[in-house]
């Protein structure tokens, strides 16, 4: 195409999109995909991208990493009352990862195949037993009264039994994110406290650390877990005395620390006086064989453990437990009371009904088999059709496959193209606490059906073959 023809094509696409925005599209509506515009106007991908860039510069559309291009909110004239500069002074610097965290936890657009989902597909959720448990719980006398701030004793007993600790050392919280926020809030007694984290690291943990004014220090992983040599190197040269980790089916890599590595890390942390915060979000979701013992089971005095029911049940069941010992337990309890008073009794009773009922073990067995089928299909299709993508570890549990892309591949462009074609995936960059170690994407096999995995991987194969220039 000649420069003149390209210019005419660019202007034609621009006028059409601008007219659609002015005439009918509402704020938040997606623009047509780049591919459809290329086909409709017989234009080059580069021409279409230049038009999109122009619309972004004019404030008509916004590009959201990992989601696509959408019509922007209409801007109202700035008035005196819209001056929020004083809030910027009050708040100080914006915490890192804010936009990435919000993007990750924003539901995928309707009709999209959610290969970035962090929750079970509706077909895998125990909706029947859960609904029945809530109904039974709601009929109990005084169910809406206040309950002990540390949680209902029978539910604490159940969590304690699962972890091999005493019930008196457990606290019930409204989900794992609340638990982690409270724990790190207690530990953040001064600004800039260093905290050791896995690299890549759970994005929710990174967001909490930054919000608490703490400083994440990355320690890379290998196939057996966090690297012991690098962990000792950091401990011997820094003042870091807290380690945040997910030893069992880590998010995003799916790595499960070996039992030997767990014991080595515990010994090293004991040597340096390091407190470990163990996030067990996916510990029930093993597929092949049960995982090794939890860190808190092996060394309860060294570890604070968070155990959540959300991942094996549904996003709406916000029930978790903290296991801790010594003065930390009382500090965390006080912080929970200040922040939340207590977790509503009806949800605690419903959770207890669910996990102690006959269908619970059947449910866990069922989702383990279903997740294994989904994982195996996704791995098969990746190896068959996207052989240039490198799978670091085959997950033996959890929800995710962590794939390294070829060096020439731009992960943000790939994610945006996939979303424009109706498939949501997660770019890898936000999971790295420091410099990114090559382009990656996180794929979830938990929030989709087998058919959706086939459809989604076909789209990923297609868009990955396009040139890197949008």
* Residues comprising the chain, all counted: 470
Q: Which CATH architecture has domain 102-124+363-464?
A: Alpha-Beta Complex (3.90)
pLDDT at 190: 74
Q: What is the pLDDT of residues 346-396, one digit of tens each?
A: 889 999 999 999 899 999 999 999 999 999 999 999 999 998 999 988 999
Residue 445 backbone zone (phi > 0: left; psi -120 to 50: alpha; other: beta): alpha
In this predicted model, which residue has the larger pLDDT, 283 or 146?
A: 283
CB 4 within 8 A of CB 38: no
Provide the pLDDT confidence category of residue 120 given band limits of 50, 70 and 90: very high
Provide the pLDDT confidence category of residue 12 given band limits of 50, 70 and 90: confident
| Neighbour-count burial for 137-153, b at 16+ CB within 10 Å, e otherwise | beeeeeeeeebebbbbe
The stretch 78-100 carries a mean pLDDT of: 47
What pTM does this model have?
A: 0.79
Adjacency order of strands within the sheet including 194-199: 170-173, 320-323, 303-308, 275-279, 242-245, 194-199, 215-222, 225-226
Domain-wise residue ranges, the chain: 3-71, 102-124+363-464, 127-359
Q: What is the pLDDT of residues 220-254, one digit of tens each?
A: 999 999 999 999 999 998 889 999 999 999 999 99
What would the two tokens of residue 246 be?
Answer: 């997910």
Q: 3-71: which CATH number, 3.40.50.970, 3.40.50.720, 3.30.450.30, 1.10.10.10?
A: 1.10.10.10
Q: 127-359: which CATH number, 3.90.420.10, 3.40.640.10, 3.30.540.10, 3.40.605.10?
A: 3.40.640.10
Q: What is the pLDDT of residues 409-428, one digit of tens each?
A: 889 889 988 988 899 999 99
pLDDT at 393: 87
CB 174 within 8 A of CB 319: yes
């Amino acid at each position: 195409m000649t420069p003149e023809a390209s210019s005419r094509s660019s202007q034609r696409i621009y006028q059409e999109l601008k007219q659609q925005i002015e005439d009918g599209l509402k704020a938040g509506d997606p623009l047509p995909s780049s591919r459809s515009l290329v086909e409709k106007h017989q234009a080059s991908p580069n021409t279409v991208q230049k038009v999109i860039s122009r619309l972004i510069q004019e404030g008509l559309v916004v590009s959201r990493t990992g989601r696509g291009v959408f019509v922007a909110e209409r801007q109202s004239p700035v008035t005196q009352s819209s001056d929020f500069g004083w809030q910027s002074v009050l708040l100080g610097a914006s915490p890192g990862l804010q936009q990435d965290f919000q993007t990750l936890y924003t539901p995928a657009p309707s009709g999209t195949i959610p290969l970035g989902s962090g929750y079970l597909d509706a077909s895998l959720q125990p909706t029947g037993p859960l609904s029945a448990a809530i109904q039974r719980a709601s009929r109990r006398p005084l169910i809406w009264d206040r309950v002990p701030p540390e949680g209902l004793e029978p539910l604490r007993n159940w969590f304690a039994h699962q972890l091999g600790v005493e019930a008196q050392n457990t606290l019930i919280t409204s989900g794992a994110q609340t638990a982690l926020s409270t724990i790190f809030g207690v530990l953040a007694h001064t600004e800039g406290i260093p905290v050791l984290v896995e690299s890549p690291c759970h994005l929710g943990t990174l967001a909490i650390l930054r919000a608490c004014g703490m400083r994440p220090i990355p320690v890379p992983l290998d196939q057996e877990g966090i690297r012991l040599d690098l962990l000792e190197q950091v401990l011997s040269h820094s003042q870091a005395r807290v380690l945040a980790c997910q030893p069992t089916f880590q998010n995003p890599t799916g790595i499960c620390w070996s039992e030997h590595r767990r014991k080595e890390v515990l010994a090293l942390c004991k040597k340096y006086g390091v407190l470990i915060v163990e996030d067990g979000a996916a510990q029930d979701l093993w597929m092949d064989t049960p995982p090794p013992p939890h860190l808190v089971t092996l060394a309860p005095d060294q570890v604070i453990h968070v155990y959540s029911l959300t991942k094996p049940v549904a996003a709406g069941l916000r029930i978790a437990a903290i296991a801790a010992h010594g003065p930390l337990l009382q500090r965390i309890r006080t912080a929970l009371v200040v922040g939340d008073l207590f977790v509503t009794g009806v949800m605690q009773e419903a959770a207890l009904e669910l996990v102690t009922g006959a269908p619970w073990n059947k449910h866990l067995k069922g989702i383990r088999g279903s997740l294994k089928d989904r994982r195996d299909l996704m791995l098969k299709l990746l190896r068959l059709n996207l052989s240039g993508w490198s799978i670091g570890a085959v997950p033996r549990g959890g929800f995710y496959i962590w794939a390294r892309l070829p060096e020439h591949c731009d992960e943000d462009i790939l994610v945006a193209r996939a979303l424009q074609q109706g498939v949501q995936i997660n770019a890898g960059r936000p999971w790295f606490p420091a410099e990114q170690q090559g382009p990656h994407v996180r794929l979830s096999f938990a929030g989709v059906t087998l058919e959706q995995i086939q459809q989604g991987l076909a789209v990923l194969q297609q868009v990955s073959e396009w040139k890197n220039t949008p």
